[in-house]
Amino acid sequence: MSQREGTRELFENLEGYDELDDVDSRRRAIRLWSETFSEQWEILKEDRLVVFGAVTITLFSLIAIFAPFLAPHPPTERMWDGGMIMQWENPLWYGGEGGYLLGTTAEGYDIFSQLIFGSRPALIVGLSAAVLCAGIGTIVALVAGYYGGRVDDILMRIVDVAYGLPLLPSVILLVAMLGPSFLNVILAVVLLQWRASARVIRSQVLSIRERPYVQAAKVTGASDWRIISRHIAPNILPLTFLYGAFAIATGILTEAGVSFIGLGDPSQVSWGTMLQTAHTYNAMYHQTWWWFIPPGICIALVVISGFLIGRGYEEVTNPALRGNN
Amino acid sequence: MSKLNFAIRRLFQMVATLWVIATLLFVMFRAMPGDPTTYFLSEGMPPEARERLIAQYGLDEPTHVQYIEFLRSLVTLELGISFHSGRDVIDIIWLYLPNTLVLMFSAIIFAYVIGIPLGVLAAWKRGEGTEKGAVILALVQRSFPEFWVGLVVLGIFGAWLDVIPMSGMTSGDHRPESFLAMITSLDFIWHLLAPAAVFGFYLMGLPLLLMRNNMLEVLAEDFVDVCRAKGLSERKVMFKHAARNALLPIVTAAAIAIGYAVGGAILVETVFSWPGLGREMVRAVLRRDYPVAQGTFMLLATTVVFMNFVADLIYSWLDPRVTYE
């Protein structure tokens, strides 16, 4: 439909041809993308679980952004009562003093504030890992799948090597060497996790490359870039989102795991480092479950949301799955 | 192309992958910030002793000599001497690897013995509450960090109910004379129970979901209708005929999962203070004990690459329809 309109306008304004073509193609591109996204959202919002996932991630993002306003205390400030640090204080609903919603840690930090601020590293690592993993994987897949031959061979051998690396040990090694900061955790996760999306999306590109409309574009003399960006990329986009959503989960779980081992960013409080200190001070033994239960629930909620959004995109990519549930 | 040819080509590919990983490892350890010698040389050491130590570890050689020496040491399994304890790295590996293997195999058996029937059940009861329950279970298994589940299990069963030990592999006063005597002792099994269950719980999601998906595919085939037409009970159709045909991808997935699980056990080993290889690697990384970190990491990577190789071979052996062009 958009094409016919564009043609009619073209004939009406022959003078400003070049200029119009430019504007029109941009407008068309925007319309195409917004149509694609609204179509996908129509399918996605049918699934209540996907909506739950999207709402949860949005909620945690808001908490992360407004953390300084929501948290009653700075996460790395010790609580004092006169001359004494308030260690192992019970929550206020459990007979604790000082009005701490979830009590204080063995080192005298407010657990609730740490929980609020812990959403920041989790979401930053999760979301940037998702964008970078899916982005790099997709670009590699497009190049390997479209050009084939030697380029494909080399890229896929690199993917094979990446598959030979055990995830957590490699991330631990990399973070230990580059220094414990969550930028390095992101880097390590991305270096290892682009492999999955690259491999799967490439096989999809291989099949799309042979479709008649791509062949037709080739015959009409479209450039490689045009074919890749206009004819192939839009068709694999849902797969990119699918792997992006799953990468949120891997990113957050890996960050938590690495922090739990003791290689977390020392300047930041994350859910993983909270669990690490709880483990070090044997909070399980002291039965202070308000210290170590909430961070785990938060991690799981964000991770589950990632999986649920990914599952929704699986239905977008594979129409056969639709309507079964 | 014959199967033998495929196996040989795959073998070469495996060796090449391992060589690339080893080279990456070598480069990484040399690029690490800080001179490795500063970690095991003390300040007041006389210069001759200092030089002798540097020569002993081969750190005075030019880089390419060090590289060749490094590759030779990997092939001959002479992995050097620990900076920290002064023991042979290979002895350290032999000390900790069996502990990890016992934990991992118990967990894998637990995960597959329960996960596979649950997957069959989920496919059999498609659209009912049972299926939904099984899928949610798998989601929970993949979303809650396994070390957090470990903390909760320790809190409930270790501290509160006091029915499992809080850490370690054997009780302090228990000194078995051999490895075999140890792993067959009741005390060991009592210690193994919680870590194996927690790790198994984490690993179970894969066989469960995979089995469900394969079953759904198999159930659409004609032979299932023939079985039903013969008057076989639904249980027999499901477990005897359909499940057998759906098992194939599980076998290869299990092989790959074993490869990754050796390194994946790190977090479970850390929570339960299980003296395994992964935990030893983390400790070596934290105390900058290069030889041990390199040796253990290389072993974990080799397991992954080797099990991927095994999975490919099993696949071609079990399914005669698979061909290689």
At A247-296, the pLDDT tens digits run 888 889 998 999 998 888 878 888 988 888 888 888 777 778 888 889 99
Q: Is residue A140 part of a domain?
A: yes
Percent of all residues in chain A with a pLDDT value above 90, rounded to a whole number: 18
Residue of B nearest to A324 (CA): B127
Q: What is the mean pLDDT of residues A144-166?
A: 90
Q: Which of A260, A285, A304 sits opposite B270 (nearest CB)?
A: A260
The whole-chain average pLDDT of chain B stands at 84
Mean pLDDT of chain A: 82
Average the pLDDT over A206-218 and give the result: 89
Query: Does the pLDDT of residue B193 top 80, yes or no?
Result: yes
Return the higher-pLDDT residue of B114 and B235: B114
| Mutation choice for A interface testing from B141, B161, B271, B285 by most A CBs within 10 A | B285
Please indicate whether residue A43 or residue B72 has the higher confidence score (pLDDT).
B72
pLDDT over threshold 50, residue A1: no
Q: Give the number of A-B residue pairs with CB atoms closer than 8 Å.
A: 141
DSSP string, A98-158: S--TT-B-TTS-BHHHHHHHHHHHHHHHHHHHHHHHHHHHHHHHHHHHHH-HHHHHHHHHH
Query: Which of 102-141 (B) contact A at CB < 8 A?
Result: 127, 139-140
Structure tokens at A254: 């890996």
pLDDT confidence tier of residue B197, bands split at 50, 70 and 90: very high
Q: Which of residues 169-228 of B touch A (CB under 8 A)?
A: none
Q: Considering the domain boundaries, does residue A202 fall inside one?
A: yes
Q: Is the pLDDT score of B3 beyond 80?
A: no
B33, A177: Cβ pair inside 8 Å? yes
- Cα separations (Å) of A43 from A28, A305, A315, A319, B89? 23, 17, 8, 10, 56
CATH number reported for the structural domain that contains residue A196 in this entry: 1.10.3720.10
- Percent of chain A exceeding pLDDT 70 equals 87
Contacts of A62 (CB under 8 A, 6+ apart): none
Nearest to A169 among B145, B154, B297 (CB): B297
B163 and A CB contact within 8 Å: no
The verdict on residue A300 lying in a domain is yes
With 50 as the cut, is the pLDDT of residue B137 above it? yes
Query: In this complex, do A249 and B143 lie within 8 Å of one another by their Cβ atoms?
Result: yes
* Predicted local distance difference test score (pLDDT) of residue A2: 47
Please give the residue range of the domain that contains residue A56.
49-321
Has residue A217 been placed in a domain?
yes
Report yes or no: B260 at the A interface, CB cutoff 8 Å: yes
Q: Out of B160, B270, B301, whose CB is closest to A164?
A: B301
Can you give the pLDDT at residue B202?
A: 92
Instruction: Tell me, yes or no, whether A201 lies in a domain.
Output: yes
Residue-wise pLDDT for A36-58, tens only, equals 778 877 777 777 888 888 899 99
User: Does residue A298 sit within a domain?
Assistant: yes
C-alpha–C-alpha distance, residues A168 and A128, integer Å: 18
From A247's Cα to the closest Cα of chain B, the distance in A is 12
- pLDDT over threshold 80, residue B34: no
Q: How many domains does the structure of chain A reveal?
A: 1
Residues paired with B81 in a beta bridge: B88
More confident residue, B42 or B243: B243
Residue B124, Cα to own-chain centre: how many angstroms?
A: 31
The closest of B224, B145, B28, B322 to A255, measured between CA atoms, is: B145
Summarize pLDDT for A60-83 with one digit per residue, the tens: 999 999 888 887 778 777 777 777
Q: In chain A, which residues have their Cβ closer than 8 Å to the Cβ of B262?
A: 166
A132, pLDDT greater than 70: yes
User: Looking at the domain assignment, is residue A26 inside a domain?
Assistant: no
Q: Which residues of B touch A168 (CB under 8 A)?
A: 263-264, 266-267, 278
In the chain, the amino acid numbered B283 is: R
pLDDT value at B42 more than 50: yes
Helix (H) or strand (E) holding B293: helix B290-318
ipTM (interface pTM): 0.86
pLDDT (mean) for A140-146: 92
* Chain B from 6 to 35: CB within 8 A of any A CB: 13, 16-18, 20-21, 28-29, 31-33
A227-245 pLDDT tens trace: 988 889 888 888 888 888 8
**Looking at residues B177-204, what average pLDDT do you find?**
86
Contact criterion met (CB < 8 Å) for B304 and A179: no
| Closest residue in A to B267 (Cα–Cα) | A257
* Tokens describing residue B146: 């396994």
**Whether pLDDT at B143 is above 70:** yes
* A4 or B12, higher pLDDT: B12
Minimal CA separation from A253 to chain B, in Å: 6
pLDDT at residue number B102: 92
Checking A212-221 for CB contacts under 8 A at 24+ apart, the result is: none
Per residue in B220-266, pLDDT (tens digit) is: 888 888 888 888 888 888 888 888 888 888 888 888 888 888 888 99
d(CA A63, CA A151): 44
Q: Does B154 touch chain A (CB under 8 A)?
A: yes
pLDDT of residue B325: 47
pLDDT digits (tens, 9 = 90+) for A7-33: 555 555 555 555 555 667 778 878 877
Confidence at residue B1, expressed as pLDDT on a 0 to 100 scale: 58
Q: Do A304 and B263 touch (CB under 8 A)?
A: no
- Which of the two residues, A284 and B93, has the higher pLDDT score? B93
Among A172, A193, A246, A287, the strongest candidate for a mutation testing the B interface, having the largest count of B CBs within 10 A, is A172
Nearest CA in chain B to A286: B159
What residues of A are in contact with residue B29 (Cβ under 8 Å)?
177
- Over residues A93-115, the mean pLDDT reads 76
Q: What residue type is assigned to position A190 of the chain?
A: V
Residues in chain B: 325
Residue A74 covered by a domain: yes
Local structure of B81: helix, strand or coil: strand
Selecting from A261, A284, A299 the residue whose C-beta is nearest the C-beta of B154 gives: A284
